[in-house]
């Protein structure tokens, strides 16, 4: 016999968390499915007047959620939902650059992807939208084509396949010729294609087999949640009085309500239920309970999403005015503490959601950047720490190669407290070899000299 304590996640709580995770588009499909099977649910037309804005003034936030509502800490025990492709690309973008300019360009490129993972907007259109030079946009795009999945952000099928072959080390002159003449491959003109590539038939067959192992549509997935966000779930705008208004997008927000006429009929009938009607009455009572849960879950979703968004833009207010240069380091933990919920709740709230701002359309994940706290109580962005590590390694002498422990000490002297495993992770991201490999290369280089 053993006595203990634990958290219990009932059906209502699980449904509320599921609703919070859904985007407006996915939520609409879910509500339609529920309304089709539950006679107590109705889907009314959207009335823009029902979208209640959450306002915050400079230095002060007004509470939107009614008192007495809270999130259950049981969410801490739930596994986090997987990142969508859009969120994965934002994560890779933050890891690949410390430049706010490149972050802004990258964000626009992510939002410009089509369902196959290609860029269809012309360079002139991107220059107009981002306000950046064509050279900078192309430089960022070339870098982002190496993101996972490799080949995304390409402008054509040939470019997409070429990048994947280059990453595999298989892009030689013969393969270039094959990519240039894929129309022959489609027509089955193998002999002519072999002559164009200057290879024999056996080699050509292996080249074609290599080509077939590539992914022609890196951004495509049968799951709808993997398609990049296109429609905003929230809107941020200025009210003309120095305040910013955060509100749900009334044009895309689904609504659901209880069918009150049916409720009344069932309640009156329940006063004198005949034995043969008890089974039917039981089904109706179950449907009515589920309908109440769903309506309540929708209210909690809207309230939580607004609270999270309000906290994000309270902290990222400078972005609304100055763009990407005004971004400050922000983590899920920061927002969770400000709202008073668990980090997993914030993660579900921002997952796959997009917000329309004066600076353009962005995924909510765009406004988060990992932060490292130093002894000086200053916030250090992860990108800045990686840049310091890169410079330290670049400046090390041929016989004074820094180990990961040495780098930890060097960072601590700069007021940055960081674990050794984090240094190793950042070193891998920067493609910096371990210290023993760097020492070996220096010795070989010295012998060669």
Are 151 and 145 within 8 A, CB to CB? yes
Between 59 and 1, the higher pLDDT residue: 1
- Single out the residue of 179, 91, 148 nearest to residue 366, CA to CA: 91
C-alpha atoms less than 13 angstroms from C-alpha of 224 in its C-beta half-sphere: 8
Residue 122 pLDDT grade (very low, low, confident, very high; cuts 50, 70, 90): confident
Q: Please report where in the chains the tokens 């012998």 appear, as a residue.
A: 447
Sheet holding 244-248, edge to edge: 60-61, 54-57, 244-248, 234-238, 354-357, 360-363
* CA–CA distance, 396 with 384 (Å, rounded to integer): 19
* CB contact burial 190-210 (16+ within 10 A = b; e otherwise): eeebbebbebeeeebeebeee
Torsion sign across C-alpha atoms 126, 132, 135, 141: negative
For residue 177, the model assigns a pLDDT of: 92
Which helix (H) or strand (E) segment holds residue 183: the answer is: helix 182-187
Q: What is the pLDDT of residue 10?
A: 58
Please enumerate in sequence order all residues whose Cβ is within 8 A of that of 306, keeping only pairs 6 or more positions apart, or say none. Answer: 52, 54, 64, 65, 234, 246, 247, 248
Q: H or E element: which one contains 280? A: helix 278-315
The answer to whether the beta carbons of residues 279 and 77 sit under 8 Å apart is no
Cβ neighbours of residue 177 closer than 8 Å, sequence gap 6 or more: 196, 197, 198
Comparing 149-153, 358-362, 368-372, the range with the smallest average pLDDT is: 368-372
Q: What token pair was written down for 161?
A: 């396949």
Least reliable range by pLDDT among 126-135, 235-244, 323-332: 323-332
Q: Indicate whether 48 pLDDT > 60.
A: no
Q: Taking the model in full, what pTM does it have?
A: 0.53
Q: Which residue has the tokens 């991107």?
A: 126
Task: Mark residue 188 as left, alpha or beta (left: phi above 0; alpha: psi -120 to 50; beta: remaining).
Answer: left
Query: Does residue 265 have a pLDDT over 80?
Result: no
N- to C-terminal Cα separation, the chain = 74
Look at 184-193, 294-303, 320-329, 333-342 and tell me which has the smallest mean pLDDT: 320-329
CB 297 within 8 A of CB 325: no
Give the bridge partners for 355, in sequence order. Answer: 234, 362
pLDDT value at residue 391: 87
Task: Give Rg (Cα) of the chain.
Answer: 28
Which pLDDT does position 309 carry in this prediction? 93
Average pLDDT over residues 82-100: 74
Q: Please name every residue paired with 380 in a beta bridge, in sequence order, or none if there are none.
A: 372
Percent of the chain, pLDDT > 70?
Answer: 76
Query: Contact at 8 Å (CB) between 327 and 102?
Result: no
Average pLDDT over residues 212-225: 72
- Pick 246 or 375 by higher pLDDT: 246
| pLDDT per residue as tens digits for the range 391-449 | 888 888 877 889 998 998 888 887 777 778 888 888 888 888 888 888 888 777 765 55
Contact 398, 375 (CB under 8 A): no
Going by pLDDT thresholds of 50, 70 and 90, the confidence category of residue 260 is low
Residues 137-193 pLDDT 10s: 999 999 999 888 899 999 999 999 999 998 888 889 999 999 999 989 888 899 999
**pLDDT on residue 163:** 92
In 3-state terms, what secondary structure has residue 235? Answer: strand
Residue 254 has pLDDT above 50, yes or no: yes
What are the backbone angles phi and psi of residue 361, rounded to the nearest 5°?
A: -95, 125
Query: Which of 74-88, 172-186, 270-284, 312-326 is predicted least confidently?
Result: 74-88
Backbone phi and psi for residue 205, each to the nearest 5 degrees, phi listed first = -60, -40
Residue linked to tokens 């002894």: 375
Torsion of CA 339, 340, 341, 343, to 10 degrees: 70
Token pair 């509502």 is at which residue? 69
Residues 6+ apart with CB under 8 A from 315: 328, 330, 334, 335, 338
What's the rounded Cα separation, in Å, for the pair 47 and 300?
19
Q: What is the dihedral of CA 28, 31, 36, 42, to 10 degrees?
A: -100
Cα 330 from chain centroid (whole Å): 15
């Amino acid at each position: 016999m053993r006595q203990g304590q634990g958290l219990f996640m009932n059906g209502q709580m699980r449904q509320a968390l599921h609703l919070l995770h859904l985007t407006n588009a996915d939520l609409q499909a879910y509500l339609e499915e529920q309304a089709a099977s539950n006679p107590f649910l109705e889907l009314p037309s959207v009335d823009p007047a029902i979208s209640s804005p959450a306002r915050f003034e400079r230095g002060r936030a007004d509470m939107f959620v009614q008192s007495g509502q809270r999130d259950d800490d049981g969410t801490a025990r739930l596994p986090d939902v997987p990142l969508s492709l859009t969120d994965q690309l934002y994560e890779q973008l933050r890891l690949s650059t410390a430049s706010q300019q490149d972050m802004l360009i990258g964000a626009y490129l992510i939002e410009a992807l089509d369902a196959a993972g290609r860029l269809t907007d012309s360079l002139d259109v991107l220059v107009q939208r981002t306000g950046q030079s064509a050279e900078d946009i192309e430089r960022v795009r070339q870098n982002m084509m190496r993101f996972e999945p490799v080949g995304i952000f390409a402008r054509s099928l040939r470019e997409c396949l070429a990048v994947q072959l280059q990453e595999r080390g298989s892009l030689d002159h013969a393969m270039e010729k094959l990519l240039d003449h894929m129309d022959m491959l489609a027509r089955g003109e193998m002999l002519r294609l072999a002559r164009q590539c200057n290879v024999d038939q056996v080699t050509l067959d292996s080249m074609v087999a290599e080509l077939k192992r590539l992914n022609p549509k890196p951004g495509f997935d049968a799951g709808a949640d993997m398609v990049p966000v296109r429609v905003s779930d929230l809107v941020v705008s200025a009210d003309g009085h120095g305040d910013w208004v955060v509100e749900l997008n009334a044009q895309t927000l689904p609504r659901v309500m209880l069918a009150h006429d049916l409720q009344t009929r069932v309640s009156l009938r329940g006063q004198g239920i005949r034995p043969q009607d008890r089974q039917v009455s039981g089904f109706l009572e179950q449907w009515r309970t589920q309908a109440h849960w769903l309506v309540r879950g929708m209210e909690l979703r809207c309230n939580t999403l607004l609270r999270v968004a309000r906290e994000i833009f309270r902290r990222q207010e400078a972005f609304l005015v100055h763009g990407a240069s005004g971004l400050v380091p922000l983590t899920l933990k920061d927002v969770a503490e400000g709202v008073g919920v668990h980090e997993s709740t914030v993660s579900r709230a921002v997952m796959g959601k997009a917000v329309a701002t004066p600076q353009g359309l962005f995924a909510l994940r765009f406004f988060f950047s990992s932060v490292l706290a130093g002894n000086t109580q200053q916030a250090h962005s992860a990108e800045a720490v990686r840049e310091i590590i890169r410079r330290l390694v670049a400046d090390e002498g041929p016989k004074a190669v820094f180990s990961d422990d040495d780098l930890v000490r060097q960072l601590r002297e700069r007021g940055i407290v960081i674990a050794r495993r984090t240094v190793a992770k950042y070193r891998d991201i920067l493609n910096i070899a371990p210290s023993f490999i760097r020492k070996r290369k220096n010795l070989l280089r010295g012998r060669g000299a």
